[in-house]
Copies of this chain bind each other. A is one copy, B any other.
């Protein structure tokens, strides 16, 4: 069928063509079916949408990106014909039926995903079916490798052994990577750390470190930084290590599911060439992993998968029943981390966690008591000197001081109404407050705890502060803080806790960070 192109002022990540209902009927295609569009020698396959008024019979509505790709001469009619669904759809349907997919089938699905050939509905059916039916270890392996192969790789050359760490996330205030990387690099190991930005949490490591140094580096820039300093802390999203992962996340996020956890993490670690990897698995009531049985189960999967991919993995279960350190929010956490590195002093839990994880990596490299060595590197200032090198190599100011990191100018104090001790801190509520205050978009927004679990509290003491960049955000978070009992104060000897008020706002809270 010959149709006249009608440019539509729209952006989409997939090629979409809008047909008038009558023409779609004539062509025998349905919404979310496909058409092949030819213009001279150029051609493209697009997913079909229908319209009744916007696109008239005889026209084909095309989004920006198709117009650009075809470099269309709008005066010439386009030859539009029905196109079959990609073969990978048949494999997706096999997974829907509960079959185990082969390597070739998984490769095809990932390839069609990254080349935007699958519609959101088809991708959702795939993601949902992986979630519903689970995956065998061989499927996880094949998916990890397919996702890795679909993206860029960081090849440092020179036969360097690459060390890496990853946290599956879920604990607010977790700025461990910022401490670990300089320690490990100061010990002479190579650790090219790529980190995520926040998706559903108040801050990702990339958001945090961006308050200290630029993190949007290209692959070439990263190579230079790592060759020079042994380490880096950069945003993984800028280097396209696993583009399939980004596309799956778009589907997972609105459904708050994460069947891709293992392939997502491991495809990226393979892409940076990691040989040794420590996985941090925060374990606690409000974390992704709540029991030691679940921890062992997940740890075993990471270790087994790593073995098949040529990566030696250790997993660490870490305490997750309160935020790590005192600061939650990009800038406020960056301050806390920078201060710790400068002085060697800071929150005990943060120091212990960073030393533990750095210690595992150091012991991989043959150092007997890795944790003690890590603590020494931190306390002696060697880690701070390494941090300065990394900051400078990434294009930042190595002389940056904690006070140079700007916090939100709006501030509220949340006061205790009782005497007692802190019996519980809700990670979930603290994260909600920090987000309501504007984090992560507002770098200066967040929550600064004054107390942690077990601390004594007097009526009138400040429990925590909320920082915001805008008055209305502060007000929103402050109101919530008065409704949600983010920090619970009770008598040490009493088993009667305060009754948690049910305000009916149990929105499913979900941290999807990789």
Contacts and interface: CB of A to CB of B under 8 A. Distances in A.
Contacts of A124: 120-121, 124-125, 128
Contacts of A435: 28
Contact of A96 (B32, B254, B255): B255
A42 interface: no
Contacts of A121: 120-121, 124, 251, 254-255
A30 B508 CA distance: 15
Interface string A105-140: 000000000000001111011001101110000000
B255 A54 contact: no
A51 interface: yes
Given A10-B8, A51-B11, A128 B508 contact: no
A119 B253 CA distance: 13
B253 A30 contact: yes
A255 B26 contact: no
A76 interface: no
A254 B10 contact: no
Q: How many copies does the complex hold?
A: 2
A128 B441 contact: no
A10 B10 contact: yes
Contacts of A64: 53-54
B25 A507 contact: no
A90 interface: yes
A336 to B, nearest CB: 23
A85 B508 CA distance: 9
Q: Which of A9, A51, A64, A84 lies at the interface centre, i.e. has the most chain B CB atoms within 10 A of its CB? A: A9
Nearest to A200: B30
A258 to B, nearest CB: 12
Given A10-B10, A254-B33, A98 B128 contact: no
Contact of A32 (B25, B132, B253): B253
A256 interface: yes
Interface of A: 8-11, 25-26, 28, 30-33, 51-54, 64, 84-85, 90, 93, 96, 98, 119-122, 124-125, 128-129, 131-133, 199, 250-251, 253-257, 435, 441-442, 507-508
Contact of A132 (B8, B53, B129, B508): B129
29 contacts: A9-B9, A9-B54, A11-B52, A11-B54, A26-B441, A26-B442, A30-B199, A30-B253, A31-B254, A32-B253, A33-B254, A54-B64, A85-B507, A85-B508, A90-B508, A93-B257, A98-B132, A120-B120, A120-B124, A121-B121, A121-B254, A121-B255, A122-B254, A124-B124, A124-B125, A124-B128, A128-B129, A128-B132, A132-B132
Contacts of A257: 93, 96
A257 B125 CA distance: 11
Nearest to A253: B30
A125 B122 contact: no
7 A-B pairs with the lowest CB-CB distances in the bound complex, closest first: A124-B124, A32-B254, A132-B132, A128-B128, A25-B441, A125-B128, A121-B124
A85 B256 CA distance: 11
Contacts of A507: 84-85
A11 B362 CA distance: 58
Given A90-B508, A132-B128, A253-B32, A10 B119 contact: no
Contacts of A32: 250, 253-254
A435 B30 CA distance: 13
Nearest to A441: B25
A250 B50 CA distance: 12
A88 to B, nearest CB: 12
Given A11-B52, A52-B11, A129-B128, A122 B441 contact: no
Nearest to A127: B125
Contacts of A8: 9-10
Nearest to A249: B30
Nearest to A256: B93
A348 to B, nearest CB: 32
A251 to B, nearest CB: 6
B28 A441 contact: yes
A133 B134 CA distance: 12
Contacts of A93: 255-257, 508
A54 B125 CA distance: 29
A211 B226 CA distance: 74
Contacts of A90: 508
A182 B289 CA distance: 65
Given A10-B54, A255-B125, A250 B96 contact: no
Nearest to A26: B441
Contact of A254 (B26, B30, B129, B256): B30
A255 B124 CA distance: 10
Contacts of A508: 85, 90, 93
